[in-house]
Amino acid sequence: MGRYTTIKDIAKLAGVSHTTVYRALNDKPRISQSTKERIISIAREVNYQPNVLAQSLVLGRTKTLGLVITTIINPFYPELAKGIEDTARSLGYNIILCCTDFDISRESRYIDMLRSRGVDGIIFTSAHTHDPNITRLVKDHFPLILVNRRVYGDPMMDSIDYVVVENAKGGFLAVEHLIKMGHKRIGVISGSPDSSAVVERLEGARKAFIEYGLNSANLLVLEGDFLKRSGYEAARRFLAMADPPSAIFGVNDYMALGAFEAVLDSGLRVPEDIALIGFNNITFSAMKGIELTTIGQKKYEMGSIAVHTLIDKIEGRDREKVKQIALEPELIVRRSCGYHYKGVYRSPSGGPLNIRNLR
């Protein structure tokens, strides 16, 4: 506040036209060295900062990106957001944070707002494989990139850039690990099937069941909402079944950790009584006392790659190329599924295995 110093103020001080000031401050030709220096020193004196709004208006770009996520409360996003923010900053871009809370109409309003504000591009991470908001943006050739999700539907959608982890492969690895640990009946805590990540992880899970000759009827799926509480509730429901699964795969760690609590609250142990595997490898999964086995993905890198790709598009590099990047998932074995030792499956305490439903 208190009004800014403008180029015109400096012009007045220096007794020149505002264009001359502009030339001085932006290293443009057609100005003598002496006036240039004089102007620059005046600008420094009054601590001149250009008005980015005015610049944006005339240049038609804001050096700002929108980041659309569901909720920052899900620990997956801060880790992703760090990669995004770091990279954006290093490239001179700012981030406007938008949390949709899983509400597609709120997403829609956010998009309108972001476009009104002239953001140069949008990073989408939230759910919804068939997102009309995205469709519209693509039709308008608005620069965007999807992270950790894909959209289906229009053939046009095939040209959308994205950065994901090989979700199907990750789902496969998770369930394969459980199968190798001897589990034959597995509960999956899924998220909304609107999320491509969920669909693909489930797909991978099923593929593992088939590949290992198991009956898919023993792959039990309950739907959560990606948040911890829903993982808790789903796990309770699994445990209350007449023939409960001996292992649970949470399609994200946050729900898996909810399940972890549910198991303990039920007086059971992880992994002695029930095995647990997650997806994402959020920081807290590694905690002693939890040690969730999970599928790791490079969240920071994903964010960083997304920003680079998006900004490349915005600044006109590789305009034509469609960038669809799938990173490798990685099985991270910790404690929550037990482990093999000398060919024998053991509970982590080293004692004999004690999984009720392990047949």
Partner DNA sequence: TTAGATTGAGTTAACGTTAACGCAAAGGGC
Partner DNA sequence: GCCCTTTGCGTTAACGTTAACTCAATCTAA
What does DSSP assign to residue 235? H
- With 0-12 CB in 10 A as exposed, 13-18 as middle and 19+ as buried, what is 228? buried
Shortest Å, Cβ 113 to a second copy: 7
79 lies in the binding site for a second copy (CB under 8 A): yes
In whole angstroms, the minimum distance from the beta carbon of 208 to DNA comes to 53
Cβ neighbors of 103 (< 8 A, separation 6 or more) are none
Of 13 and 353, CB closest to DNA: 13
Binding to a second copy by residue 322, rule CB under 8 A?
no
Binding at 349: pick from DNA, a second copy, none (beta carbon under 5-8 Å per type): none
Binding partner selected for residue 94 from DNA, a second copy, none, CB under the kind-specific 5 to 8 Å limit: a second copy
Residues 249-274, buried b or exposed e (16+ Cβ, 10 A)?
bbbbbbbbbbbbbbbeebebebbbbb
DSSP annotation of 240: T
> Applying CB under 8 A, does 171 fall inside the site for a second copy?
no
Q: Draw the binding track, 119-148, toward a second copy (x: CB under 8 A; -: no contact).
A: ---------------------xxxx-----
> Which residues lie closer than 8 Å to 359 by C-beta, 6 or more apart?
184, 246
210 binds a second copy per the rule CB under 8 A: no
Say how far apart CA 234 and CA 222 lie, in whole Å: 6
Comparing CB distances to DNA, the nearer of 53 and 156 is: 53
* Contact (Cβ atoms closer than 8 angstroms) between residue 31 and residue 23: yes
Distances (CA, A) of 65 to 93, 138, 263, 351: 7, 16, 41, 53
Provide, rounded to whole angstroms, the least separation between the CB of residue 151 and DNA.
29
Cα 3 from Cα 45, distance rounded (Å): 16
Rule CB under 8 A: say whether 117 interacts with a second copy.
yes
Residue 97 near a second copy by CB under 8 A: yes
Judged by beta carbon, residue 56 or residue 357, the one nearer a second copy is 56
Query: Which of DNA, a second copy, none does residue 97 bind (CB under 5 to 8 Å by kind)?
Result: a second copy
The CA distance from 247 to 238, in Å, is 10
CB of 56 to DNA, least distance (A): 8
- HSE-CB for 146 with a 13 A CA cutoff: 31
Binding partner at 1 among DNA, a second copy, none, C-beta below 5 to 8 Å by kind: a second copy
**Residues in contact with DNA by the rule CB under 7 A:** 3-4, 6-8, 15-20, 22-23, 25-26, 29-35, 48, 50-51, 54-55, 57-59
CB distance 95 to 62 below 8 Å:
no
Task: Let me know: does 44 contact 10? Beta carbons within 8 Å.
Answer: no
User: Please, which residue, 118 or 153, has the CB nearer to DNA?
Assistant: 118
Nearer to DNA, 20 or 309 (CB): 20
Which residues contact a second copy by CB under 8 A?
A: 1-2, 49-54, 56-57, 62, 64, 67, 71-73, 75, 77-79, 81-82, 85-86, 89, 94-99, 112-113, 115-118, 140-143, 228, 257, 260-261, 264-265, 283-284, 287-290
